[in-house]
A and B are shown apart, each in its own frame.
Chain A
Amino acid sequence: MAIDVIDHLTGTHDGDALFTLRAQRPDAKKNAQASFDALFASDDLQQVSQLERLAVAYFTVALSESPTAGYYRDLLAAESPTTLTALEAALPGAATSGPYGDYPAGPLSIENTPGLLWAPDAALTSVVGERLAAALAHTHLLVYRPRDSSPEALQTLLDAGWSSTGIVTLSQLVAFLSFQLRVVAGLTALKGELA
């Protein structure tokens, strides 16, 4: 039987208190795993390749400084060591903390928070190509400053060769991992406090 990735990432085994707890939300558990499978074991890689999926996944969790980064690092290393090396070289210049960004002009403008506007440099782009580089810039936007999103950001992806369907999958990758890494963080903290 295939592993349950969240059980794996939280070090949870059948019979553990946390295992019993998760079993009380069986559809949430089953479908968090089905979400992982839909993104990383898809039978349709026409719009987003496996390498692109794994590169965006690793970048998302590494930027988020999640302990799950090691798991996705291994998946990417098996697919493309050169991509992994290039991403790791870029991380120190890309990592920051969030969320930040701007609101539509009006009463919330006083809550606008400046922060890093990151895009891949020439070294990273030369390894991953313009198309994946555009996706990595979008990943950074979604991880740290989703409220800065814009139609212009999507047009940049379309211009770099992404389709509308590919952008949906790319967005789901970053968004799902933003969920999964927080479930793992939350359940890990809870696990330490369980009787």
Chain B
Amino acid sequence: MTETVLRRSAAGADSASTAAPNAFTQAELGWEPWLAPLPVDELTERHYLGLVDKRRASNPYFRLLVRDPDILGARTRTDNDIFYNEKGGLTRALRELSAASASRTNGCIFCASVHSRFAAHHSKRPDDVQRLLDDGTAASQDDPQWRAVIDASVALTETPTAFDASNVRQLREAGLDDLAIADAIHGAAFFNWANRLMLSLGEPTPPAA
């Protein structure tokens, strides 16, 4: 039998307080899937392995992705090492900035909200992050490391990718070592994975009132 997509109710979509967000924000947005997540009572051991963290069973995004548990598990473990392995390399703030810049370029309002908030938290520079959201990736940034990480993320996100030796040199001249440069590359590359899932399998919903 052919399945049917889930749609947010027309009444909800028409109301100003519940309409899908239409601007980049650091606020905590929700996200609703367009395809049915697996029901909790259908989750097997293999599904829980794919979820990695059992608590993710309560999240509709992960419970939708867990329909293919093996790729979800490998994806989550890739994500965790790129963003949370703090043995040297790029600061957490700049890894999040790399993620936010890719998301701003692709137009993922949900991903940009999460990772701009994280970038602001770790850098303590919410205004600089907000400028990236409001005025875009080309908006001025005085910090050469911010400039280089944003430029690298944007270049890598373009299709075909425009990232080249000049980006590596800009990152290096800003004072980043090889591991930090590799982290910047992986952070931007990973959000070209994440953005495509978040954008195509559902939509953001407004912050809880």
Contacts and interface: CB of A to CB of B under 8 A. Distances in A.
Interface residues of B, number: 72
B37 to A, nearest CB: 9
Nearest to A177: B193
Interface of A: 17, 21-22, 24-28, 30-32, 34-35, 37-39, 42, 63-66, 97-99, 101, 103-108, 111, 141-144, 146-147, 149, 151-155, 158-159, 161, 163-165, 167-169, 171-172, 174-176, 178-183, 185-187, 189-190, 192-194
B55 to A, nearest CB: 20
Contact of B106 (A21, A146, A180): A146
* Dominant SS among interface residues on chain B: helix
Nearest to B6: A151
Nearest to A112: B107
Interface stretch (B20-28, B113-121, B122-130, B141-149): B20-28
* Dominant SS among interface residues on chain A: helix
A182 B188 contact: yes
Given A37-B74, A103-B109, 16 more contacts: A26-B81, A27-B81, A28-B81, A34-B73, A35-B74, A99-B159, A104-B21, A106-B23, A108-B23, A146-B196, A163-B3, A175-B192, A182-B192, A185-B161, A186-B182, A186-B186
A108 B22 contact: yes
A142 B195 CA distance: 10
B23 A107 contact: yes
Contacts of B24: 108
A97 B157 CA distance: 11
B5 interface: yes
Nearest to A26: B81
